[in-house]
Amino acid sequence: MIQQERMIVVRQSEIAHHIFELTLQGQIVQDMNPGQFVHIRVSDSFEPLLRRPISIANINKETNEATVIYRAEGRGTQILSQKQVGDEVDVLGPLGNGFPVEAAPEGGTALLVGGGIGVPPLYELSQQLAARGIRTIHVFGFATEDVCFYEDQFSTLGDTHFVTVDGTKGTKGFVTDLLDELKPEFDVFYACGPLPMLRALEGFYPDKAGYLSFEERMGCGIGACFACICKTTDQTEKDYVKVCSDGPVFPKGVVEL
């Protein structure tokens, strides 16, 4: 159920260049699933006015803590990055439909592909897959080495490979270059990142089951404002889907890329 709560800042730190890890405590953690997001109001004033949608990177239902990882680039996220331990943050969530953990067959292997700030939701997913005995392979692309994060965390869960656009860490190029080189064996893939990456993946694995998490500018985050619309490939049943409330995760092939 979607709730609004003033969550408490438990921890916040800069884990890479302009990349922040923020842990919040509150009751709504109980309803969270991997791939869902929270809609954060960074200020109680009208400046900035709208909430910021940020994906959930880690869920701890025992301590009621959830972690988000975001890039502090715009006005809103810069304000958020200044929150101190003990501060309250107005959070609406959990929102959207997350990754189907059960789509990975028992004893199987899942390929997790992330690009930049699309990597965080794959962390909770990877943990939940690991808990079900699914083997995970992580292939993550970043722009440069200084914005890479969570190498150790992912490495404890499964094979982890990095690729950077400028080659400062791992292979030089894009995730598809690395996938071409690695040729991983897997049953299902999960991905989150920029549209060109998602598009490339769909083309790369036409015969595999896959789930893609999308990003789009949002207004309300709950499906009411029609800001984050994507066209569907099969326009017979539904002409469009809303990233916020129908997604952000869709099975491969649903959204026109």
Count of residues touching another protein (by CB under 8 A): 31
Taking only Cα atoms into account, the Rg of the chain, rounded to an integer number of angstroms, comes to 18
For another protein, the closer of residues 4 and 13 by Cβ is 4
- Among positions 225-254, residues that touch another protein (CB under 8 A) are 225-231, 239-240, 245
Strands of the 209-213 sheet, one edge to the other: 171-172, 159-164, 135-142, 109-115, 188-192, 209-213, 249-251
14 touches 73 (CB < 8 A): no
For another protein, the closer of residues 124 and 215 by Cβ is 215
State yes or no: residue 185 binds another protein (CB under 8 A).
no
- Pick the binder of another protein from 30, 224, 234, 251 (CB under 8 A): 224
State yes or no: residue 217 binds another protein (CB under 8 A).
yes
Tell the smallest beta-carbon distance from residue 49 to another protein (Å).
5
Q: Is the dihedral of CA 168, 173, 176, 178 positive or negative?
A: negative
State yes or no: residue 63 binds another protein (CB under 8 A).
no
**In the chain, what is the straight-line distance between the N-terminal and C-terminal CA atoms, in Å?**
30
State yes or no: residue 223 binds another protein (CB under 8 A).
yes
Residue 180: phi, psi to the nearest 5? -65, -35
Kindly write out the interface string for residues 23-52 of this chain, putting x where it contacts another protein by CB under 8 A and - elsewhere: ------------------x----xxxxxx-
- Pick the binder of another protein from 122, 212, 218, 255 (CB under 8 A): 218
DSSP 105: P
Tell the smallest beta-carbon distance from residue 197 to another protein (Å).
18
* Region of 102 on the Ramachandran plot (φ > 0 left; ψ -120 to 50 alpha; else beta): alpha
Tell the smallest beta-carbon distance from residue 219 to another protein (Å).
5
All residues at 6 or more sequence positions from 218 whose CB lies less than 8 Å from its CB, including other chains: 39, 53, 225, 227, 228, 243, 244
- Pick the binder of another protein from 163, 220, 254, 255 (CB under 8 A): 220
Tell the smallest beta-carbon distance from residue 50 to another protein (Å).
5
DSSP-based three-state secondary structure for 60: strand
- Pick the binder of another protein from 1, 62, 84, 106 (CB under 8 A): 1
Question: Structure tokens of 54?
Answer: 């940020």
Contacts with another protein by CB under 8 A lie at 1-2, 4, 41, 46-51, 76, 92, 216-231, 239-240, 245
